Amino acid sequence: MNAGTSPDVVRSAYAQLAVTDIARARWFWVDMLGFHVQYEDAGSLCLRGTDELTHHSLVLRQGEVAALDHIAYRVRTPEDVDKAESYFTHLGCPVRRVPKGAGTHGVGDAVRVIDPLGFPVEFFHDIEHAERLIQRYDLHRGAEVARLDHFNICTPDIPAAYAHYTSLGFGCSETIEGDEHELYAAWMYRKQTVHDVAFTGGAGPRLHHVGVATHESHHVLRTADIFGALRQEHHIERGPGRHGVSNAFYLYLRDPDGHRVEIYTSDYYTGDPDHETYRWNVHDDRRRDFWGSAVIESWYKEASPVLGLDGSPQPVTDTLLDESAVHVGADGLG
Ligand code: XXG
Ligand code: FE2
Ligand code: CA
């Protein structure tokens, strides 16, 4: 096997978050958002959306500090797990093999790495299957989460993130760029949607948010209504609104530990081989909210720490370009 061959990534598959109070986290993710519990023990919960036929797309585990434990990508074949191991070893990254039973419940043989951007990332192929819930309308609750859609990560050097994911075979659907084409943000995909991963310029490595898909824009509105009705409106951070980038309808919430989740619906197909990148100018006021609504400062600045392979929080580096400092004039342009 060529050590430099990248694994064939199918999609963003799950995120594992450390939470400081698993009962409160359960309230937020299960009772309020409507994730389904696939597996539960004293210290962890494996959750999935209604459309997901694999064991989980979100794992919550009790931890000392609120942090990202790892994000995980599913790869096409078991051999792609070996390819991930040699690919990241070749790059000089910390790499650990996690045999079936030693890692996350339901997942088979996997490889965990600290990628060149400093993020804990797992690659796996085998995972337990799960019962079809898409038409179990009687079980649908809250945001009626259908599936995981994407990860959004804070990283100080967006061109480096773009280069790393390009070499992993990801396409780029959209960018935010300055007048000299300096890269402020990028959305990259393997599955045929706008993204599996996006980069927000900021101190990093940190997890900006996990994006979960619902079927209908009214589910986004209903989520906000439920939080308001229960006097839990302080969990709402940004939106509801229409994104410029991706065209999706959105709402951002913060969980009891401050982990951010985006309820997201109605982006578009990107699967043609010659799909072209759509480029937004950073001075276009519609880029992050198509109606020009201001983005709250906390959305740019706050994010979850990430853990190393030994479980300790990773140090962060400050950003090179700060999009939140970009001035947009009254005409919506710089
Ligand atoms: O998923 C997304 C986001 O990355 O969360 C943010 C799609 C678009 C945007 S943006 O705020 O740029 O419209
Ligand atoms: Fe997002
Ligand atoms: Ca405005």
Q: Is 239 in the pocket of ligand 1 (CB under 6 A)?
A: no
pLDDT at residue 192, rounded to an integer: 98
Other C-beta atoms within 10 Å of 137: how many?
9
Last residue of a domain, one of 96, 124, 152: 124
* 174 in the same domain as 66: no
Single out the residue of 161, 154, 164, 152 nearest to residue 196, CA to CA: 152
* 163 in the same domain as 96: no
Task: State which residues form the domain around 13.
Answer: 9-124
* 225 in the same domain as 87: no
Q: Could you give the percent of the chain with pLDDT greater than 90?
A: 96
pLDDT at residue 1, rounded to an integer: 47
* 232 in the same domain as 101: no
* 63 in the same domain as 206: no
For 86, the enclosing helix (H) or strand (E) is helix 78-90
CA distance linking residue 315 with residue 59, whole number of Å: 23
CATH number assigned to the domain comprising residue 95:
3.10.180.10
Q: Is 198 in the pocket of ligand 1 (CB under 6 A)?
A: yes
In the chain, the number of structural domains is 2
Name the residue of 209, 250, 268 to mutate for ligand 1: max ligand atoms within 8 A of Cβ: 250
Task: Give nearest CA residue, ligand 1 atom 12.
Answer: 288
Q: Is 265 in the pocket of ligand 1 (CB under 6 A)?
A: no
Q: Is residue 202 part of a domain?
A: yes
Averaged over successive runs of 10 residues, the pLDDT of the chain (334 residues) comes to 81 99 98 98 97 98 98 98 98 98 98 98 98 98 98 98 98 98 98 98 98 98 98 98 98 99 98 98 98 97 98 93 82 62
User: How close are the terminal C-alpha atoms of the chain, in Å?
Assistant: 51
* 166 in the same domain as 111: no
pLDDT at residue 320, rounded to an integer: 81
Name the residue of 194, 214, 220, 245 to mutate for ligand 1: max ligand atoms within 8 A of Cβ: 245
Last residue of a domain, one of 68, 96, 124: 124
* 188 in the same domain as 225: yes
What is the tens place of the pLDDT at every residue in 298-311?
999 999 999 999 99
> Which residue is associated with the tokens 């994000």?
71
Q: Is residue 31 part of a domain?
A: yes
Cα 40 to middle of ligand 2, angstroms: 27
* 296 in the same domain as 160: yes
Residues forming a β-bridge with 277: none
CB crowding 19-32: b at 16 or more within 10 Å, else e:
beebeebbebbbeb
Q: Is 63 in the pocket of ligand 1 (CB under 6 A)?
A: no
* 40 in the same domain as 188: no
* 217 in the same domain as 184: yes
Q: Is 319 in the pocket of ligand 1 (CB under 6 A)?
A: no
Instruction: Identify whether the C-beta of residue 34 lies closer than 8 Å to the C-beta of residue 140.
Output: yes
- Which segments of 181-322 does DSSP mark as H helices, in order? 217-229, 297-301
* 147 in the same domain as 77: no
Is the full-model pTM beyond 0.95? Answer: yes
* 280 in the same domain as 195: yes
